[in-house]
Amino acid sequence: MLFYDCSTAPNPRRARMFIAEKGLEIESREISIAERQQLSADFLVINPHGTIPVLTTDDGATLTENLAIARYLELLHPDPPLMGSSAREEAEVLMWNAIVEAQGGHPIAEALRNSHPAFENRAIPGPDNHAQVPELAERGFRRVARFFDLLDARLSDSPYLAGHFFSLADISAFVFVDFARVIKMRIPAEHSATQRWFDTISQRPSAAL
């Protein structure tokens, strides 16, 4: 297998943490978003969508989405389970992972890509250029604040997002919360449950990747 990574971007980090939590060693290749290597002719042959992460499998498949990569590796290497050990647990992991992506990852990207000069004409990932829309950045900041509230409400009732166990959903949320620093948003001081959860995950070796 070959893993196409970018050390500075949140979505590849999610896959990187998942791979590490599985105890796997997969050959990787760095693709620099800053240098727009994901839009090079060579990389677009691998992934025409021009996004990272990508996992090419031993049997020649190309997986371009975090959920697909995680599910593939989970089926090949079920221990430790990161997507639940029962039908209900897996459903809850997938539910919370989807919530985190929609309510956290997307708004952070919306705020960053529509406000930062580095993303001028690159407001949406992929091979096509899109102009920044300042109103979308403003909306993104508001949505990220709401995301922090959502997390704290859940984590006040549960040690991890999908229940009593660490999962893919926690990896996604942890990476997005950490990455929110790029838009100068951090865990609010009053959100003690989220801070406890974040500090706990920060101690895992995969969090250093």
Tens digits of residue pLDDT in 14-48: 999 999 999 999 999 999 999 999 999 999 999 99
Tens digits of residue pLDDT in 91-127: 999 999 999 999 999 999 999 999 999 899 898 988 8
Tens digits of residue pLDDT in 54-97: 999 999 999 999 999 999 999 999 999 999 999 999 999 999 99
Burial 16-39 (b: 16+ CB within 10 A, else e): bbbbbbbeeebebeebebeeebbb
Measured distance CA(38)–CA(188) in Å, rounded:
34
Tens digits of residue pLDDT in 131-181: 999 999 999 999 999 999 999 999 999 999 999 999 999 999 999 999 999
| pTM confidence score | 0.95
Q: Strand pairing partners for 144?
A: none
The answer to whether 123 touches 106, Cβ cutoff 8 Å, is: no
| Predicted pLDDT of residue 126 | 87
* Average pLDDT of the segment spanning 193-207: 98
pLDDT value at 206 more than 90: yes
